[in-house]
Amino acid sequence: MTANSRKTFLVCHGAWSAGWAWKKMHPLMQAAGHRLVTPSYTGLGDRAHLAHQGLDLDAHINDMLNVISYEDLRDIVLVGHSYGGMVATGVADRVRERVAQMIYIDAFVPRDGQSLFDLNEVAIASMREAARTGDGWRIPPMQTPPDTSPADVEWLSARRVAMPIKCFEQKLLLNRGETNLPRSYIYATRIPPADTFGQFAERTKHEAGWRYFEIDASHSPNVTAPEALMALLQEIVS
């Protein structure tokens, strides 16, 4: 592998999750000669002890910006999974010159001024009710897809934590408007959760500036189909 073909992948992970959920992808990335960086947002994963009521989308964008700055990451393949599409869109807006391309994996793709709740109106009532019945500001994890193996369900359940509701409520403000970076969308076709992400599959199939891909996996292929996801990521960056 030449130096030019080695990539740095930076993952903006999904809600309730954290960097640990990409554990299966690290050896695959290493074997392919790439670097995989999987930080955890404040209040989640290994940083769960830092959770507080004021955490919002901007806080998680700033988490990623600090990783980029302190690790001096450049020519990044910026990956957004699920809620991480909100984060990745904000990150790319702030440091466009550091990002080579973007890959959304079954993720939200916001436009300027949109929140996750704006893009997922079906779930708002149930999520707000779930927060109210808890501590009032966090939403407990959603169920894992039924094709997740028992061992993975056990692994995930022990580590997923409640998600600050402000992260879903805060509207993303883009300083530079719609990006002109190369973007790819990977739609997970197996057992789509209320087909939340079908709207983005349809949009990115037909909108200029996108490459569209599908994967025969449920919502978190980094957990349930890591080899298939690795092959697809390799195809995209090649």
User: Catalytic amino acids?
Assistant: 82
Q: Structure tokens of 127?
A: 């999520």
**One-character DSSP codes across 207-229:** STTEEEEEESS-S-HHHH-HHHH
Radius of gyration (C-alpha) of the chain in whole angstroms:
17
139 bridge partner residues: 163
Among candidate residues 175, 198, 38, 204, the one with its CA nearest the CA of residue 113: 175
Q: What is the 3-state secondary structure (H, E, C) of 105-141?
A: ECCCCCCCCCCHHHHCHHHHHHHHHHHHHCCCCEECC
Among candidate residues 36, 17, 193, the one with its CA nearest the CA of residue 103: 36
Element spanning 236, H or E: helix 226-237
Q: Show the CA angle centred on residue 78, arms to residues 76 and 81, nearest 5°.
A: 160
Nearest-angstrom CA–CA distance, 49 and 63: 15
Cβ(126)–Cβ(171) under 8 Å? no
First-residue to last-residue Cα distance in the chain? 11
Nearest-angstrom CA–CA distance, 108 and 87: 9
